[in-house]
Amino acid sequence: MHFDFQVAWESLPKLLAGAGTTFAVLLPVLVIGLLLALPVALASFRPGPRALFASSYIGFFRGVPSLVLLYLIYSGLPQFSFVRDTFLWNIFSSAYVCAWLGLSMTHSGFMAEIIRGGLAAIPKGTIEAAQTLGLKPAQILFRLRLPLVARYVLRAYQNELLIMVKSTAAVSAITLVDLTAAANTVFDYTYDPFTPLITAAAIYWCITNCIRLGFSIADRRLNRYLVRV
């Protein structure tokens, strides 16, 4: 078994097209997941039913494998008549929509916990000082708490993002041809599992290291006055 450079070169367009599908799934998931996670994380700080719901939400979506969610949404929801026989079928018949929804819920569970940890890390004195200055709760949230959270959780978010990049490989189970599925397709007609999978791994390596580089630059800019020990 050896690496065939000709097969790698000839299959590169298909693999890059698969990488395009990976990004078409990943980018909406990051946005939707963050929008879902933020209110859940904020609710976890309010005693009562909201905090209980937030904890249950985080625990459930952190515990359920993303592949199971994808199967439940893509194959399970159409079994219900209120989905199959209504306008919802036009939505859930799309593999992209199912992938966005399933992975977004998984991502939101982890992001809510990350944001919650960032909120808990803000010193109480900082919030009290802002209240003393007469800032309204909305101003404290958007001008103080969330910017501080962005700094505190940057490295944890980087790890979650790298995991999510690799988790997109699960969408091949619901007919989307992402980077991993494209590599398997090349294997099917070349009978060479080594070359396309190594090439796909190299593309994943480039993607993840570009993300790491971007986060390193952002970390240096946002935390340039932070004393590291």
Taking the chain (229 residues) in consecutive chunks of 10 residues, what is each chunk's mean pLDDT?
85 95 96 95 86 93 93 90 87 92 95 93 89 89 90 91 93 93 91 91 95 90 62
195 within 8 A of 1, measured Cβ to Cβ: no
Q: What is the pLDDT of residue 192?
A: 87
Q: What is the pLDDT of residue 225?
A: 61
Q: What is the pLDDT of residue 229?
A: 42
Closest of 168, 196, 211 to residue 23, by C-alpha: 168
Name the region of 28 (left: φ>0; alpha: ψ -120 to 50; beta: rest): alpha
Burial bucket for residue 222 (CB in 10 Å: 0-12, 13-18, 19+): middle
Distance between CA atoms of 42 and 44, rounded to whole angstroms? 5
Q: What is the pLDDT of residue 1?
A: 64
Beta-carbon neighbour count of residue 159 at 10 Å? 13
Architecture of domain 5-223: Orthogonal Bundle (1.10)
Q: What is the pLDDT of residue 81?
A: 87
Residue 223: how many CA atoms within 13 Å on its side-chain side? 17
Beta-carbon neighbour count of residue 60 at 10 Å? 11
Residue 73's φ and ψ, nearest 5 degrees, are -75, -45
Distance between CA atoms of 76 and 101, rounded to whole angstroms? 13
Distances (CA, A) of 72 to 83, 132, 161: 13, 50, 23
Ranges of each domain in the chain: 5-223
102 within 8 A of 69, measured Cβ to Cβ: yes
pLDDT tens for 53-107 read 999 999 999 999 999 999 999 999 888 888 888 888 888 889 999 999 999 999 9
